[in-house]
Structure 1
Amino acid sequence: MMYRISPFLRRFALALLCGIGLATLWANLWPAGYYDFIEWRIADPNLPDWIWAGTVTLTPFMVVTDMLMALFFFFIGKELWEALVLERGSLSGRRAGLPLGLSIGGMIGAAAAWLTLSALIETAEEAVPGGGWTVPLGSDTVLIYLFARMAFGRGHPALHLTILMAISTDILALLVLGLSNPNLSVRLVWLALPLLAAVVVGRLFGRRPSVDATERRRLRGQRLWPYLLAGAVSWFGTAASGMPASLGLLPIIPAIARAERSFGLFAEAEGLLNDPLNRLTRAIMWPLTAILFLFGLIRGGVDLLAFAPTTAVTLGALWIGRPLGLALAALVLISLFGNRLPRRVGWRHLAVIAPLMAIGFSVPAVAIGAALPGGAMAEAARAGLVLSLLAGPAALLLARILKV
């Protein structure tokens, strides 16, 4: 049974699209004002080298991408964690094989297509041979959900499978992005800070009170401030280590006291649960709407004159590489290893899921800054990400043709 999905997910998608649309208009009608806005120097904190490598400049670009978007990845990371560990979780036990396998297959296909097309058609002077392959690994959970709901309806198992794949793709892509950073060094020792924060807060506050626990013990288990403090420490340690700062809140998710069973991905019924993990998630729902609008505004401004071979490479990786990788993974997992599709999900549904997963914006937009040189090449890649959103309407047309 698939429970009703929270209406916030649709609001997130619309807020992101509005930000992208406004940013593109702004970047083309008044480019100087747009780039002055996203690069505005708010402050220049002076941190010792042993804490932070290089100079730190707070700009709207950094605040939104590295700080505020950590809340969004906490939001989807929470859903992935619950799917893995809770009773009846969507990825518990053997259920994890197919969605994770399809996600990994799509990521491999996207990376392979990027490398192949880069070698064949890339002309940018700043391009590095074999570089940039992490850009198309991720997808966009909220935008994929928006189009998948229109394609399958809100209660269909194919919608559930699509969301699972989008979440796992985004989290895995961020992890690969962090681990493939060539600048990683001894600074990785800072990752001990998130680990320590998670262990301490988990042992002191994250255990569920026993049935015969005192009222004081129960109240202590419902406090939120220890998790907020642990989250701040975890974010700082992750950022200082050189890993993507947007991953900074993920380490504390397993340490937060949670419900005993899952109601499904982004289930509206979880709004009635009073465990700390669901209370924290509810607290950031409305702020996330504004954050995703700002992310679209900061990252979505596309110069219509920025089209270049990098744009074609980006689109080819997402529109050709990911669907092909997904299709090959499906053939291997289902035909050779005997994995079964969920009930009421067939090959026609997978044919629609493939172009849906070719949508890439939020995580690839984060990856551009770390994987590509700045300037024209990054702008051309960003144009490809925005154009990839056209895969959504294409998937809806295919769904109508196939009558899924």
Structure 2
Amino acid sequence: MYRVSPFVRHFAFALLSGIGLATLWVNLAAGSYYDAIEWRLLSLSLPGWLSSTPFVVTPLSLVADGLMALFLFFVGKELWEALILERGALSGKRAVLPLAAMIGGWIGAVVAWLVIGALVETALEATPGVGWAVPIGSDVVLGYLIGRRVFGPGHPALHLLLLLTIGNDIAGLVALGLVDPAADLRILWLGLTALAVAAVWWGFARHARAELTERDHRRAFQLWPYMLAGAVSWLGVVLAGLPGALGLLPLIPVIPHADRAFGLFAEAEEFLHDPLNRLAHLLVKPIAVVLFLFGLTRGGIDLLALAPTTVTVLGAMWLGKPLGLLIAAAVVGIWGYAMPAGVRFRDLVLVALISGIGFTVPVLALDTALPGGGMAEAARAGCALSMAMGLLVILIARLRQKA
């Protein structure tokens, strides 16, 4: 079984370092912390045909809507390869159980959010069902850090965990963009994104076919056209009113890639020279910085913010998502679709529990899916507390080994 590249651990440590520093800062000097992350770097009044609201850039928005697009591109590339490449983890019938488990987890998280919120929520600004998109996302890098400790670096269950958390994160952002009540959706601007994708495919990517000349291949393997198209694609997504973090994903299918998958974040991919893998390699060090900045700008946990919304978050992530995932997997298993080779049901239980850790994408969703103030801060505290599930899973795994 292939090895996962060690840079994913570095991502996790960078994110946790940012969260730790932000939490210390916000609890010692909350005023200066919020002043820093909400400092206006740029403010422009745009024509109405571009946007109905002023264009404001703060460290908070720069990281969330701009830099995090690089991270989503990086993990989206892995999901795309799993779907379409030879030996991909989601190719053919192998896709059925992971996809069913993923969807079951989403449904379970949303149902638990709605039920628990209706029972315990006391915030005056809460409305029925508000914020249901928050618990859909998971956490790729923190989930990997825990999963590697539990399963080891080459276990098939670790690869299944990565697959589920990547899918959860992308689904969580898409759901957020579609249900955000404050979003100024102008879907026609996605035509700009489609134009960028079509132009780079026609002018460059299509020349990567094996039967064409060496000159055509060199043309297709240049990186700058895909970088330029990515910038235009991101602009189209932002102008359409969708989360900027999704802005680079539409470009992934047209970028020339390897012929077969080596696995999610496989160490072997570091030796590939197709444009998609070269772009991913270039992003490794910048993404560590991005995740540190994300933790710094979004990870400040107010230790006094615990409230009923915290319970709703933890109920959705710790109960709803794992139960939904396991029930869906059991149902498709009864229909004859087997789990990935080397993964037993008790491994799947641990995978389901780890998928209940949610920080990056759930925290991204807070400011738009929930009313601001105490409710959002209580939910942020719940997302932080969800990381405690990792300690429980490690304990369960150790007890299982001793039994």
Q: Provide the TM-score with structure 1 as the length reference.
A: 0.97
- Give the structure 1 partner of residue 45 of structure 2: 46
CA distance 1:138–1:186, change in 2 (3 Å): closer
1:23 is aligned to 22
2:239 corresponds to 1:240: yes
The answer for unaligned runs of 5 or more in structure 2 is none
Q: Which runs of 5+ in 1 are unaligned?
A: none
Across the aligned residues of Structure 1 and Structure 2, the Cα RMSD in angstroms comes to 1.3
Structure 2 match to 1:99: 98
SS in 2 for 1:89: coil
Measured in 2, the distance between the counterparts of 1:328 and 1:394 equals: 21
Q: Which amino acid aligns with 2:382?
A: G
SS class of match (2:341): coil
Q: In the alignment, which residue of structure 2 is the partner of 1:300? A: 299
How far residue 179 of structure 1 moved from its aligned partner, in angstroms, is 2.0
Q: Which whole-Å deviations, capped at 9, do the CAs of 1:285-318 have from their partners, x for residues lacking one?
A: 1000000000011111011111111111111111
How many residues end up aligned between the 2 structures?
Answer: 402
Q: Distance in 1 between matches of 2:208 and 2:386?
A: 47
**Mapped contact 2:70–2:287 kept (Cα < 8 A):** yes
Question: How far 1:403 moved relative to its partner?
Answer: 2.7
Alignment partner, residue 342 of structure 1: 340
CA distance in structure 2 between the aligned counterparts of 1:345 and 1:227, rounded to whole angstroms: 38
Match of 1:327 in 2: 326
Please list the CA deviations of residues 155-182 of structure 1 after superposition, one character each: whole Å capped at 9, or x if unmatched. 1111111111111111122222222234
Q: Deviations over 1:132-167 (max 9, x none)?
A: 100011000011001000000011111111111111
Q: Are the counterparts in 2 of residues 118 and 313 from structure 1 also a CA contact under 8 Å?
A: yes
Query: Which shifted more, 102-111 or 43-52?
Result: 43-52
- Comparing 265-274 with 171-180, greater Cα deviation is found at 171-180
- Give the match for residue 150 of structure 1: 149
> What SS does the aligned partner of 1:57 have?
strand
Aligned-partner residue type, residue 287 of structure 1: P
In the other structure, the counterpart of 2:379 is 381
Contact kept? 1:355, 1:394, Cα under 8 Å: no
Bigger shift: residues 51-60 or 152-161: 51-60
The CA distance in 1 between the partners of 2:286 and 2:208, in whole Å, is 30
- Residue aligned with 1:130, SS: coil
Amino acid at match of 1:371: A
Deviations 1:78-133 (A, max 9, x none): 00001101111111111111111111111111111110111111010111111110
Q: Is the 8 A contact 2:185 2:241 kept in 1?
A: no
Q: Give the secondary-structure state (helix, strand or coil) at the position aligned to 2:333.
A: helix
The residue that corresponds to 1:9 in the other structure is: 8
In structure 1, the residue matched to 2:257 is 258
Residue 129 (1) aligns with residue 143 (2) = no
Paired AA for residue 392 in structure 1 = G
Paired residues for 1:72-221 under 5 Å = 72-183=71-182, 187-221=186-220
Shift of 1:218: 2.0
Q: Structure 1 residue aligned with 2:366, among 365, 368, 378?
A: 368
Instruction: Give TM-score scaled by structure 2 length.
Output: 0.97
